[in-house]
Copies of this chain bind each other. A is one copy, B any other.
């Protein structure tokens, strides 16, 4: 950790910083420069709160070089984490495709969707039984009934299932059905939910909050991992910016940057960012192009009837064409 002093900081102010650092149990090394003093703090400063020092007189800023996460850090574990879900592997350069409707609407709908996406080549079925919605008056999902429909879809197709847990109350129910449990973007810093997920035997897919830095995303993953569940998949799904031509700005640079920071598998969700189906496929292709380990895409047998997010759901035909095109896309998918 580095403490940068103002040019005109007094000797007393520098002394106070050195004293404070020592009181906290760390070793400060002062480096007087031509223009200003810089103080290097050595030792295991992960747990040292920069606030203690930022508020002292004469301090211009404090720069933390260390990180608020450990288990997720590629400097701690260099090999990529590969998560197995049935026969499907996620991570380490895979190109997994997760597909299905935004929400489970009926047994017929999800079974039809499952058959269709399987036939197109999808590896895993998505479908929400519990839906977080902006308005309390919007359709909130079928709940436990939706989970039963998902089980039926898995029985019929053999596809593993990913579905979202929106709170600790319903987590156990979701966990008992799902092959992968999803934590949504709005819940990225819902710590009770993250800790519960950390005690689950099932892999967790954690979506990046629409506000979150990569450091915050990795610290959120750390909440799960610190409880013992190291099978965490990270998902880029877009951030909120001034761009008003799509719902969210898909921040695709996060994928190659995350590769330099973490060993966890990385998935891209092009559907929520696009908001409109014509934009989904270009973004899906871009997700693979930046090196994601896979995609999660909304596909609906009859998008015009969808209860949620119909406008951004691909038709089965669009999805089939997309999957077929992948064979020509930088070699085959697997």
Residue of B nearest to A5 (CB): B65
Asked if A285 meets B290 with Cβ closer than 8 Å, knowing A55-B303, A135-B68, A136-B226, the reply is: yes
Shortest A234–chain B CB gap in Å is 13
CB-defined contacts of A44 to chain B, threshold 8 Å: 34-35
Are the CB atoms of A51 and B211 closer together than 8 Å?
no
Residue of B nearest to A261 (CB): B245
> A191's contact among B69, B167, B311, by CB below 8 Å, is which?
B167
Shortest A78–chain B CB gap in Å is 8
Asked if A75 meets B210 with Cβ closer than 8 Å, knowing A167-B191, A241-B239, the reply is: no
Are the CB atoms of B192 and A51 closer together than 8 Å?
no
Verify if A310 is at the interface (C-beta below 8 Å from B): yes
Verify if A276 is at the interface (C-beta below 8 Å from B): yes
Residue of B nearest to A270 (CB): B253
Task: Give the contact-size bracket for chain A.
Answer: 35 or more
Residues facing B in A176-230 (CB within 8 A) are: 186-187, 189-192, 209-211, 213-216, 219, 222-223, 226
Render A162-184 as a binary contact track against B, CB cut-off 8 A, 1 for contact: 00001111000000000000000
Are the CB atoms of A137 and B65 closer together than 8 Å?
no
Residue of B nearest to A330 (CB): B329
Residue of B nearest to A4 (CB): B65
Verify if A262 is at the interface (C-beta below 8 Å from B): no
CB-defined contacts of A285 to chain B, threshold 8 Å: 289-290
Residues facing B in A37-78 (CB within 8 A) are: 38, 40, 42-44, 46-47, 49-52, 54-56, 60, 63, 65-66, 68-70, 75
29 contacts between A and B (CB under 8 A): A7-B75, A31-B40, A34-B42, A35-B44, A49-B307, A52-B310, A54-B310, A55-B276, A55-B277, A55-B312, A69-B135, A133-B191, A134-B189, A135-B222, A137-B222, A166-B191, A166-B192, A190-B190, A209-B211, A214-B245, A239-B242, A241-B241, A245-B254, A252-B252, A253-B273, A256-B279, A256-B282, A282-B289, A328-B331
